[in-house]
A and B are shown apart, each in its own frame.
Chain A
Amino acid sequence: MPRISILIAESTCLIRKGLSSVIQKLGNVEILQSVSNKAELCDIVNRLKPDILIANPNMFDSDYEDLKKPFVAANKMSLVLISEDKSIEDTYNADAFIHYKDNQSKILEIIEEIVNQKTEKKRINKSNETLSSREQNILKHIALGLTNKEIADQLFISIHTVVTHRKNITQKLGIKSVSGLTVYAILNNLINMDEVK
């Protein structure tokens, strides 16, 4: 499974170190670095591209919303806000919130949830990378139960090309049977379960 990288941005040293040691208890994650000011934060995000950013909103001063879009969204990060102030949940918009008073298991629960979402996304993206988009398209048609001839007609290519693609797909995935390929296609969201006959 791909490891999930986390960046902690919080100005208090004790909190930074403490949170980092709590999060280490989750397997499968990697704390990239913890940062204590905004300039450093921007720099590290751009360089290391973390999957999750855990930040204290007081680091952003007043330009939180300005920052969020180009920064968090553009880097496809999940954002977790941490604060001693309970009211941040009403003031800000984020994927999750941690409070200073939360106990260890609560914190782990929150982070784990986000990590799982990320892992799931990575898994889907990654396995799709192994097939070219043409192959994915062909696989989709195979999974829908079309014959080689039907696929060739629909995509305006020769049967021979379809056969070659099929061979490559089978070789890449290690799956031979049509029903096996169908399961793969559903697992990877190439088709919907209801579309299958």
Chain B
Amino acid sequence: MHIKKSMKMADVIQMNYMLIPVIHRFGIELGFGDKTVDQVCEENEVDLNFFLQLVNAYHDQDYFPKEELQSIPVREIIAYLKMTHASYLNNTVTDIEQKIKSLELEGNEDKKYIALIRNFFEGYKSELTEHIMREEDVVFPYVLAVDEIIKSEQFTDKNKKVFESFSIEEYEEEHDDVEEKLMDLRTIMIKYVAPPANTNLYHSIIQDLFRLEEDLNYHSRIEDKVLIPKIILMEKSIKNLF
């Protein structure tokens, strides 16, 4: 079932709790009573069309908006992706790291194993950070430059330079193996480590890893299905323009 603007926002969240962090990134807080998606978006000055496309793409793996997609402003997508990045680095990943650290502090004979897990997770974190930084420093500015060229129908010195320095194809190629480590960590914790005394905390870390992975999958889906196709089209039309 697709999410529509006339639905109650509360029902949308009941349908898929993974959308809680998503709406939060839009600045929408829980406690919306019986307000519809439409009303909540208006109150929070969120672009309704973009919001709908996004939550639907999150909610349904096979959802692939075509015409609607073209109408979403590039700036909105980029702003959203940046918010998502920040929330990964500042909240999700940091929380997991904290949990692993407190597990390590509690540990006695398991300490060695937990230290291994912590090291591994820190390695993952720096890889993820690097990946995100590259997106924010190279990919996003490129995308915004492409958008600017299309809108103004002309090159300036600045955006020409950015445009020529990169192409979205490059991005597509480098865009898959950050998740590999995350999957390895969960496999190791499930298959190869005997859980430490505080099993509750240990389990909760594993569950967090699953959720992070799921959320990252959603995130890449937005990039792969919304952002990249849009940019490929824009690159083509720039080539036709000049």
Contact = CB atoms under 8 A, between A and B. Distances in A.
Contacts, number: 44
Given A180-B181, A183-B116, A187-B116, A174 B123 contact: no
Main SS class of interface, B: helix
A120 B113 CA distance: 13
B183 interface: yes
A180 B193 contact: no
B120 A183 contact: yes
A174 B191 contact: yes
A133 interface: no
B116 A186 contact: yes
A188 B192 contact: yes
B50 to A, nearest CB: 35
B194 A123 contact: yes
Contact of A120 (B180, B192, B194): B194
B194 A176 contact: no
Contact of A177 (B112, B113, B181, B194): B181
A21 to B, nearest CB: 26
Contacts of A187: 113, 116, 188, 192-193
Interface string A116-154: 000110010001000000000000000000000000000
Interface in B133-191: 180-181, 183-185, 187-188, 191
Given A187-B116, A193-B112, A176 B192 contact: no
Interface of A: 1, 119-120, 123, 127, 173-177, 179-180, 183-184, 186-188, 193
